[in-house]
Structure 1
Amino acid sequence: MSEVLDNLRYSEEHEWAQQGEGRVVRVGITDHAQHLLGDIVFVEFPEVGAAVSAGDSVGSIESVKTVSELYSPVSGKVTRINDALEASPELLNDEPYSGGWIFELELDGEYSEAVAGLLDAAAYRELIGE
């Protein structure tokens, strides 16, 4: 059974969004996604400074099984990537909601508006059948 945190918002592509300070949002992949991917060996990050729209492909995640696209669940400007994943991509498997975050961005608007189209924890649990 996959862990789903109540304080996050989720995309149907299995990314999560967490509100930070101000208009900053931290993004990663869900526990469910990392289970499907298997052992993760490489992360291709979005470029810091890039403007992205919700649903844009912004990178990829490579596992021993496959390569999966990474999508931005919200719109904004990428402000930071998780450098720790360059040396230790397995953090995505070990800590998908903490040390395994992938990037941060500054929203174009308010958090509540930006995540309006995302799933809450209950809806995400339903999506993944849990």
Structure 2
Amino acid sequence: MIDRLETSADALWLTPQAPGVVRLGFADHGRQLVGPVQRLTWQTQTGHVRLGDPFLLVTGSKDTLMLRFPLAGRIKRINAALVDHPDRLDTHNDALDWMVELDDE
């Protein structure tokens, strides 16, 4: 299993959604590390988080990657549909492969 903060940060994209809100999604580097995604396990779904806190375990055909928050904040929303459709992380569609939205409050 891959579980390093720097690898986790490289496996994510971040996009501002509104003032103080950022959306995190699965980047190409993450796809290369794990291969086709087979299963997701949320590590946290609500509340305040700190830099480095784990939030999602992504299991693919090649490896498993523990994703950790690259910044602190409060979870505003998660993409719960990913659990039933983990293959969405294999796409390059930001509307489908986003994982979590963080508020900087």
TM-score (norm. length: structure 2): 0.79
How far does residue 68 in structure 1 lie from its aligned partner after superposition?
0.7
SS of 1:55's equivalent? coil
Q: 1:26 aligns with which of 23, 28, 32?
A: 23
Identity %: 28
> Highest Rg: 1 or 2?
1
How far does residue 101 in structure 1 lie from its aligned partner after superposition?
0.6
Q: 1:73 aligns with which of 63, 66, 70?
A: 70
Q: 1:99 is aligned with what amino acid?
A: L
- Count of residue pairs the alignment pairs up: 98
Q: 2:98 is aligned with what amino acid?
A: W
The equivalent of 2:95 in structure 1 is 98
**RMSD over aligned Cα, in angstroms?**
1.9
Asked if the contact 1:48–1:79 (Cα under 8 Å) also holds between the matched residues in 2, the reply is: no
The equivalent of 2:5 in structure 1 is none
User: 1:13 and 1:57 mapped to 2: Cα distance?
Assistant: 15
SS of 2:86's equivalent? coil
Q: 1:16 aligns with which of 13, 18, 22?
A: 13
User: 1:60 and 1:49 mapped to 2: Cα distance?
Assistant: 16
SS of 1:99's equivalent? coil
The equivalent of 1:47 in structure 2 is 44
Q: 2:60 aligns with which of 54, 58, 63?
A: 63
Asked if the contact 2:9–2:68 (Cα under 8 Å) also holds between the matched residues in 1, the reply is: no
Greater strand content = 2
SS of 2:90's equivalent? helix
Asked if the contact 1:15–1:72 (Cα under 8 Å) also holds between the matched residues in 2, the reply is: no
User: 1:80 and 1:46 mapped to 2: Cα distance?
Assistant: 14
TM-score (norm. length: structure 1): 0.66
**Structure 1, unpaired ranges of 5+:** 1-10, 109-130
